[in-house]
Structure 1
Amino acid sequence: MACRGCCCCGVGPLNEDNARFVLLALLIVLYLLCGAAVFSALEQPREKQAKEKWAQRFEHFSQKHNLSRRELENFLRFYEEANVAGIRVDIARPRWDFTGAFYFVGTVVSTIGFGMTTPTTVGGKIFLIFYGLIGCAATILFFNLFLERLITVLAFVLKSCYEHQRRRKAVLPHSSRHGHGATSGSETRGDSLAGWKPSVYYVMLILCLAAVLVSCCASAMYSAVEGWGYFDSLYFCFVAFSTIGFGDMVSGQRQAYENQTTYQVGNFLFILVGVCCIYSLFNVISIIIKQVLNWILRWLAPPCCGHTCCPGFGLGLRHNAVGPHRNHPRHNISIETDAVNDSEETDGRRMSGEMISMRDFLAANKVNLAIMQKQLSETANGHPCQSGSCSRHNGFSEGVGALAIMNNRLAETSVDR
């Protein structure tokens, strides 16, 4: 039962998802303000020096060659237009041959978008809209499937290590496998490890080490082949692998390389593996951020909440909140973003505050996909909706797929209230 406001806390029926959303939005704004202040302090002096140096060179060149300021500015604008089209002072590889175009579409579908190559024709821009729509969606699906399989492997490895550690501590003795004790030992091991969940922090640490390893190896290759400094190569790896893609440094743009084919293949593989690792790391870090938000919400909870005067906890959260006063286990996987974090008690221990259930994580994604496919199929075949769902009508009642899931969520919210 949610807190609907009381004299001591005066809080309305704000559910946990809304509270987390508002808190995250405020923290992101604060994060942006802090980042802007830091980058402004670091980069603005360098920018002023560059402007002063450019103004001096501009005046010196115009006086030396007896050119008016307006003529020289027009000439520089012409060069900027040519540079956008791919013309440079130094000799660079063609941007729109087949290999250059393949590199371009790779940056499009991966959402990196370096910006060193962009379509200039109307036909190219129109084609890019439809090509990127399908390509980006397919690539994001690939990243999600990669993350699902990666977490499955990590969960299996961590569980094997955990089981081996318990055997070494004589919690799971080998002698239990022989004779009459084999059955009891197997049952004990199954009972003790049935609900085991690897720590999300271990998963984050492994993904972080994998991302660092791939970045260091890629940086060594870029530093040797491109002639960049090693730190600059690390910077490029993060910008590329995180799909930020500033475009100030781009690999594979020189006219020729030694062992060019080998380098192109290595460049493609490093970018692919690096993007997958960083994408997976971002998803796991987002889980930890959500746990931090839950902790902040509990910390901000009024002292009265959780008692008779305020049945909900903190900010009037709904029944699906993870709070300090809830001890009952949840047996059903919620089709929400907090399905990973809200899996609670296992083997007498509460896991939601610090552990992640890989089974819940994978099942939540599969349930979402199954519901979307089922709703699309029923809508296409004209099947009647179930009783109860037909009684829920709002502006999204005829939606399918993700829109129908959103409609169900809205309907559930209205029913809960």
Structure 2
Amino acid sequence: MDEDFSNFSIKRQNIRTVSLVVCTLVYLLTGAAVFDCLESPNEAINSHILNSHINKFQQLINITDVEFENIYKLIIRKNHFKRNPQWEFGGSFYFCTLALALIGYGHSTPNTNIGKLFCIIYILFGIPISLIMFQSVGERLNGFLKYTLRKIKLASFRFYKFKNKNVSNKDLIVTEFMLTLVLVVTASYIFSVYEGWSYFDAIYYSFITLTTIGFGDFVPLQKNNYLKYNPIYVAFTIFFIITGLTILASSTNLLVLYLVNINSEEKLRKRIWLKMKKQEQIQKMLIGDVISTVNTQDVVTYLDEKPNLAAFTEDKSVCSCDDIFMCYKLCTNKRKFDAKNYFKKKLNGVNIKEQRYYFSIKRKPLAKIEHISRYFDFKTDNIVQEYNEIKYLRKFANEQNFKLNKISRRESF
């Protein structure tokens, strides 16, 4: 039943993520089409006016086409003006992607009033959609990476003997950092080839883009009319932006969860320490609780109902552990203690009232979580549950008329 519900929840999350991706894609296509209709006619008029001024200037100073082209390239490089059309469908789609990704190079901006008004409305509704989409895709990416890493650990367990086969948030953060590094290194090489940048400048552009700073000093797709005649390169550039931002969004979510878990663990330790400190004040008066057993079968029955208390592994001695729920006399190094069989063996045919068995709660309350975990096989979150089970054991002893006696000091084991 739980497995079916879990599968249904995963399918619902996948459907939600796909729906957000499709919705964002449709929103981008719609915006590109509208900007193409609004800005392309004005851009064509401005381009015609610019070309007429260029021809007049060329005739006035009487220079060759090659010399004029060199001067023109120098002016464009100095002032970051772009000669290629920016508001055809490919350029409009690229502009919408940068706007919703909060990058904004500033290489192209709406010039008409209606285009500016539509840009305000478009971004106002588009940014929430894109942020939700990036977050949802990032969560699915985290789930996929966690599943993959777990399979890898299980497959290589026989060779490397991993102590922990679970995948933590720290493992996912490291993996996604490596994916981002691979993406930046690969994309920078392609940008350096197509744009003519140095490899260091390409890495600089990739970093500025994925951090959504977008200075605009390096902008791809502005040479050789790539926006119109090289759709594969345009698709790669958009893929680089969306994929990189998705990985960074998922990494940010994991980092926030990692910090929150650290804070929660510190609060849990503090709360447990306060409880242990209060218990220590009580234990100053009761150094040890001696319980004279009345009925062996009651103890064995209780241990049958609580199998996790029936056996545990000690290191040196149970009494040397900071957190103790049962002490007994026969303590040896690295020995498996089966409480159920021990009671049967020692108490069968013997005067039970003369036998003493110590049940102690937090003899040394100032325990560290890591130290306790070495003696008992449970996680940090289960410490409070184990503490409650200890109190339940004391309540059981009282209900079975166990006689509690106070002693002045703890017997040596």
TM-score band, normalised by shorter chain = 0.3 to 0.5
Structure number with greater CO (CA < 8 Å, separation at least 6) is 1
- TM-score for both structures, normalised by structure 1: 0.43
User: Which of the pair has more CA radius of gyration?
Assistant: 2
- TM-score for both structures, normalised by structure 2: 0.43
